[in-house]
Amino acid sequence: MPHSAPNTPEFNLEANSQSDKTTSGTPPKRGGAGGGATTRPMFYEYKPEETVKAQHGTTLRCKTWEAEAALRMLENNLDPAVSLVYDELIVYGGAGRAARNWKEYQTIVKTLKNLEPDETMLVQSGKAVGVLRTWAHAPRVLIANSNIVPAWSTQEYFDELDKLGLMMYGQMTAGSWIYIATQGILQGTYETFAAVADKHFGGTLRGTITVTAGLGGMSGAQPLSVTMNDGVCLVIEPIDERVQQKVREGYLDAQARDLDHALQICTQSKEDGIGWSVGLTGNAATVLPELLARGFKVDIVTDQTSAHDLMDYLPEGDVSEVLALRANDPAEFRCRALASIMKHCQAIIDLQTAGSVALDYGNNLRGQAEKGGLKVRDENGQFLYPGFVPGYIRPLFCEGKGPFRWAALSGDPQDILRIDRALLETFPDNKMLARWIEKAQAKVPFIGLPARVCWLGYGEREKFGLVINDLVARGEVSAPIVIGRDHLDCGSVASPNRETEGMKDGSDAVADWPLLNALANCASGADWVSLHNGGGVGIGNSTHSGMVIVATGTPEKAERLKRVLTTDPGMGVLRHADAGYEIAQDVARERGVQIPGTNE
């Protein structure tokens, strides 16, 4: 596969840019936590006077609850309590946006409010581009973000389109309006560290120290997941305010003054056998080699930095100077970022050699280091340390399990707590689930619209979706419930450096599966469906799809819930059964998943 776009002299980006690419004044250069190109048309004159937050209650501004749900979730993505850089519409993941610019945001809002019950809005990279007459049971919104013809699908080509206002980076749930802040990946992270504990430490992380890096929008999941598994966690983050924010939110227990203080806290917590997390303002490329030099015992090492775009990884150096460099000399910034990534990645490899359990957590740190020339694979082409999916999560994917989630459109936390009770009543024998709900209620803050995430598999999602719909019908929750999932799911993503790394049959880069997933969800009656490029690992490195359906309490919606919540996780079973995983093949036989030619 090519790593750069072919020469295309017949296609002149400047000549083909849209007439609405200009804006009043000059867009500010990329700020301290932003992402993407250094300049782009943002149309700040269209920015709402009142800060965007999701509307609560039961009053509709749209003509259907499905359109209202899409609007509220879009607003929720942008809520400053949820989003990473509100002014630039960046939700998380470096540069993942909810809409292309403020003008297009306003157009999307207006279109949703006017959308008829049998109409579908088309969104192309954060811009509403059409409304079609379809069916009442068809999706209200179809979204495509960041998709580029494969041979042209490079970061450099995307950046040019981005600068001209022709495209935006949708990440995974940013541009598909189903982000629920750090909680979105929390249970999956919790499940991962539980699996690490089972495999390496006798079932608990008590008495262990995990070192990781990155405290962006999603990254508070790691320290909280480690402490939920009774371990100690040290997180390194270069931007001091992000450390403070995660302490305020409750994802971090404390902030250290310096490295000596951090190691003192970690050592004491380990000796006391308590789960505790501490954030350290610093750079992983500096701190990890220092831990090696000191001979400090690290039991687990991983990371969750934004490395998929070099412009989103802060290199070593004074942070204010580094941010100024990013604004003024992007080429030099990328050079320094790559050097720091290589140093960071090499330190993880060296810690593994020294006895640490090492795992990649999915922002393409290894892939970028490899591009820089670092040896990150063995003689068989396998990464020197595994990603979390092939290392620990893939058996769950084979069962159709993944990060299922729901949000209360009412804005009332009591609705989520009522659904929590129903969840435990529906699956009374699932002790891991009960433990998760207990810990989530005690430790996970509601940020933006109250929400919950829960890993449920094939058959379980359908069953529980109907339970939620019934709660809405009976008035036991006060408004309809949005049901969705991460794009990081069992059958909705092709990502050779993350979710589909090391597939049994070598089909790591086959992108047919997420495309089929999106098509199948449309056919089954989802309320909005999305297809993105590059989420989690960067442009050209992944293809993935998202699905959302709204439980409105009607019998008609119950029928659609049955189909969508069977079809969607069923794609995970199909994908892994086709790749030769016996667990998936057994699940298919046991639960009646139809696979032509194998279980007729």
Residue tagged active-site, from 62, 398, 454, 490: 454
Give ∠ CA 364-496-73 in degrees, rounded to 5: 70
- Yes or no: say if 402 and 396 are a contact pair by the CB < 8 Å rule: yes
Contacts of 398 (CB under 8 A, 6+ apart): 490, 572, 573, 576, 577, 581, 583, 584, 587
Contacts of 488 (CB under 8 A, 6+ apart): 172, 185, 188, 362, 402, 403, 498, 499, 536, 544
- Residue 421: CB atoms within 10 Å: 12
Amino acid at 494: A
Render 356-375 in DSSP notation, one character per residue. Answer: -EE-B-SSSHHHHHHHTT--
Q: Which of 444, 443, 463, 462 is nearest to 452 (CA)?
A: 444
- The H or E element spanning position 548 is strand 543-551
Beta pairing class for 493-494 and 543-551: antiparallel
Phi, psi (degrees; rounded to nearest 5) at 41: -70, 115
- Yes or no: say if 154 and 540 are a contact pair by the CB < 8 Å rule: yes
- Yes or no: say if 266 and 209 are a contact pair by the CB < 8 Å rule: yes
Residues contributing to the annotated binding site for NAD(+): 93-94, 171, 237, 242, 283-284, 304-308, 313-314, 361, 536
Q: Which of 108, 336, 159, 117 is nearest to 238 (CA)?
A: 336
Phi, psi (degrees; rounded to nearest 5) at 442: -80, -30
The CA distance from 333 to 324, in Å, is 9
- Yes or no: say if 152 and 3 are a contact pair by the CB < 8 Å rule: no
- Yes or no: say if 302 and 391 are a contact pair by the CB < 8 Å rule: no
The CA distance from 325 to 245, in Å, is 25
Q: Which of 293, 261, 295 is nearest to 278 (CA)?
A: 261
Contacts of 286 (CB under 8 A, 6+ apart): 316
The CA distance from 7 to 538, in Å, is 22
- 112 to 69, 175, 532: CA distances (angstroms): 10, 15, 21
The CA distance from 447 to 526, in Å, is 25
Beta pairing class for 276-281 and 232-237: parallel
The CA distance from 13 to 259, in Å, is 48
Query: Can 490 be counted among the known catalytic residues?
Result: no
The CA distance from 340 to 503, in Å, is 30
- Residue 296: CB atoms within 10 Å: 17
Render 121-171 in DSSP notation, one character per residue. Answer: EEEETTEEEEEEE--TTS-SEEEEES---GGG--HHHHHHHHHTTS----T
- Yes or no: say if 287 and 259 are a contact pair by the CB < 8 Å rule: yes
- Which residues are designated catalytic? 454
